[in-house]
């Protein structure tokens, strides 16, 4: 391999978004991954780009990322639905927080829906909601298609890819791998939750651990519209944009009383569709070395609640899996420069699909981010040193 302008470690969405932007800038880019194709967090998720639910201060970053997703979709031809997200309000506290959010952000970002409108939007006439909202700016991609297709497109455009190669050390433009050393002017390291093995000290400083999420894929009944994305009350308690509303504490109290089991498994109950069916999840469990087992009670709980809302009586489960992403007790973005030529970038929260293209711009702009403090257990602003980055967990 000849010397590259930029070597990127990791072919997940963050590495690929960075490769896409750097390629647009005319730089010679080479991507190295230990896998044979992208199989990390970036294919395990909902494909939900939840721009609107991010905190007010992250809206600039979110909108830049949205522009990036639209550009990459136009370039590569990947499916990218601009159908937004629907949120049925099943209780008064949910309706209140949606109304507060819609008043706060205005109709470009959130429109209130009647009970009948939200029932029609999610394809369940017997829903029994008391209202709802539509967030028109949110986007959807198929996570199983997006990263592999972007990698293929970049390879056809001349970006180099070395697969099945594990990077063991990065310093001063030298990338040491289990197949020998390679050199680049700059190196960007995006290893996701595997940061712990490549830069253990950075991982330890930020309290990086792995978040495991129970997910299912079910057959999509005809009544559920395509390009479908639904958030629920637990999502309203989790994303910083909604959680900043005055009604958030009443909502949390109500959820604790009405849905203790969902609260217990730290659920963010949501559903999106892909060509293969409906993606249903998720719960959150945190560990440095998580076990691989899926707790059937958790999977059933999420399936049951989601299909109740969707009016699906006999769901046909096609797949279950335990997704994983990097999490941190301290921050939701690690963006550090251990030396002049090396940048380490890891999204330590469940928002990497949403913000990847915005973060890629910041990586290439040479920005860094300091550790911030998480104000609440499941939402997490961070304090930047350059640029206001406040991002919302999901």
Ligand X SMILES: Cc1cc2nc3c(=O)[nH]c(=O)nc-3n(C[C@H](O)[C@H](O)[C@H](O)COP(=O)(O)OP(=O)(O)OC[C@H]3O[C@@H](n4cnc5c(N)ncnc54)[C@H](O)[C@@H]3O)c2cc1C
Q: Which of 6, 7, 29, 42 binds ligand X (CB under 6 A)?
A: 42
User: What long-range pairs does 378-387 form, CB within 8 A, spacing at least 24?
Assistant: 378/237, 378/238, 378/266, 378/284, 379/238, 379/239, 379/240, 379/243, 380/240, 380/331, 380/332, 380/349, 381/55, 381/57, 381/240, 381/332, 382/331, 382/332, 382/333, 387/61, 387/362
Q: Which of 84, 277, 352, 381 binds ligand X (CB under 6 A)?
A: 352
Spell out, one character per residue from 313 to 342, where the chain touches ligand X: x when CB under 6 A holds, - when not: ----------xxx-----------------
Contact positions with ligand X (CB under 6 A) in 223-282? 281-282
- Phi/psi of residue 31, nearest 5 degrees: -110, 135
Q: Which of 85, 235, 354, 392 binds ligand X (CB under 6 A)?
A: 354
Give the number of residues in contact with ligand X, rule: CB under 6 A. 42
Q: Is 191 in the site for ligand X (CB under 6 A)?
A: yes
* Pair 277, 318: CB distance under 8 Å: yes
CB of 379 to ligand X, least distance (A): 14
**d(C-alpha 330, C-alpha 208), whole Å:** 8
Q: Which of 20, 29, 30, 38 binds ligand X (CB under 6 A)?
A: 38
Q: Which of 194, 307, 332, 342 binds ligand X (CB under 6 A)?
A: 194
* Pair 9, 170: CB distance under 8 Å: yes
The tokens describing 71, both together, are 């550009």
| DSSP sequence for 94-126 | HHHHHHHHHHHH-TTT-EEE-HHHHHHHTT-TT
CB of 332 to ligand X, least distance (A): 9
76 or 112: whose CB is closer to ligand X?
76
* Pair 18, 188: CB distance under 8 Å: yes
Question: Interior CA angle at 237 toward 371 and 255, to 5°?
Answer: 140
103 or 152: whose CB is closer to ligand X?
152
Burial of 28 (0-12, 13-18, 19+ CB in 10 A): middle
117 or 145: whose CB is closer to ligand X?
145
Q: Is 65 in the site for ligand X (CB under 6 A)?
A: no
- Binding segment toward ligand X, per CB under 6 A, in 28-36, 89-97, 110-118, 153-161: 28-36
Q: Which of 141, 353, 359, 364 binds ligand X (CB under 6 A)?
A: 353
**d(C-alpha 373, C-alpha 332), whole Å:** 9
Looking at the DSSP assignment, which residues form a beta bridge with residue 334?
346
Q: Is 45 in the site for ligand X (CB under 6 A)?
A: yes
CB of 322 to ligand X, least distance (A): 8
96 or 195: whose CB is closer to ligand X?
195
Q: Smallest Cα–Cα separation from 374: which of 330, 328, 327? A: 330
Looking at the DSSP assignment, which residues form a beta bridge with residue 160?
30
| DSSP sequence for 162-188 | E-S--EEEEETTEEEEBTEEEEEEEEE
- Binding segment toward ligand X, per CB under 6 A, in 46-54, 112-120, 149-157, 336-344: 46-54
224 or 349: whose CB is closer to ligand X?
349
Distinct helix (H) and strand (E) counts, the chain: 14, 20
The tokens describing 34, both together, are 């230990």
CB of 130 to ligand X, least distance (A): 26
Q: Which of 8, 29, 32, 113 binds ligand X (CB under 6 A)?
A: 32
Q: Which of 167, 301, 306, 334 binds ligand X (CB under 6 A)?
A: 167
**Residue 352 vs residues 4, 225, 308, 362: alpha-carbon distances, Å:** 26, 25, 29, 14
Spell out, one character per residue from 271 to 310, where the chain touches ligand X: x when CB under 6 A holds, - when not: ----------xx----------------------------
Q: Is 48 in the site for ligand X (CB under 6 A)?
A: yes
45 or 224: whose CB is closer to ligand X?
45
- Interface residues with ligand X (CB under 6 A)? 9-15, 32-35, 38, 40-42, 44-46, 48, 50, 166-167, 190-192, 194, 198, 213, 215, 281-282, 323-325, 346-347, 350-354, 394
């Amino acid at each position: 391999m000849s010397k590259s302008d930029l070597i990127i470690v990791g072919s997940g969405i963050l590495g690929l978004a960075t490769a896409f932007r750097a390629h647009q800038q005319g730089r010679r880019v080479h991507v190295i991954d230990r896998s044979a194709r992208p199989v990390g967090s970036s294919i395990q998720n909902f494909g939900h780009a939840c721009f609107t639910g991010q905190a007010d201060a992250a809206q600039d970053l979110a909108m830049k990322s949205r522009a990036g997703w639209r550009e990459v979709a136009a370039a590569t031809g990947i499916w990218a639905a601009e159908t937004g997200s629907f949120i049925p309000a099943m209780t008064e506290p949910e309706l209140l927080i949606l109304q507060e959010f819609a008043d706060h952000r205005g109709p470009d970002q959130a429109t209130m829906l009647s009970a009948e409108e939200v029932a029609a939007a999610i394809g369940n006439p017997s829903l029994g909601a008391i209202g709802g909202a539509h967030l028109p700016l949110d986007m959807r991609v198929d996570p199983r298609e997006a990263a592999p297709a972007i990698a293929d497109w970049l390879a056809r455009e001349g970006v180099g890819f070395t697969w099945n190669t594990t990077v063991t050390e990065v310093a001063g433009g030298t990338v040491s791998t289990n197949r020998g050393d390679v050199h680049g002017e700059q190196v960007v390291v995006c290893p996701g939750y595997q940061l712990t093995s490549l830069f253990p000290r950075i991982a330890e400083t930020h309290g990086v651990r792995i978040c495991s999420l129970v997910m299912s894929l079910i057959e999509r009944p005809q009544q559920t519209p395509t390009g479908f994305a639904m958030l629920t009350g637990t999502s309203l308690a989790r994303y910083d944009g909604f959680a900043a509303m005055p009604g958030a504490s009443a909502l949390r109290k109500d959820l604790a009383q009405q849905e203790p089991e969902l609260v217990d498994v730290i659920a963010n109950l949501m559903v999106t569709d892909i060509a293969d069916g409906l993606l249903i999840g998720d719960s959150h469990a945190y560990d440095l070395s998580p076990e691989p087992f899926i707790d059937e009670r958790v999977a059933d709980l999420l399936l049951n609640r989601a299909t109740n809302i969707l009016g699906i009586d006999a769901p046909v489960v096609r797949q279950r899996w335990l997704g994983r992403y990097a999490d941190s007790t301290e921050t939701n973005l690690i963006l550090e420069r251990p030396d002049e030529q090396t940048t380490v970038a890891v999204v330590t929260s469940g928002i990497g699909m949403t913000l990847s293209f915005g973060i890629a711009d910041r990586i290439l702009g040479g920005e860094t981010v300091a550790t911030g403090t998480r104000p609440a257990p499941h939402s997490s602003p961070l304090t930047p040193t350059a640029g206001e980055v406040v991002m919302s967990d999901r």
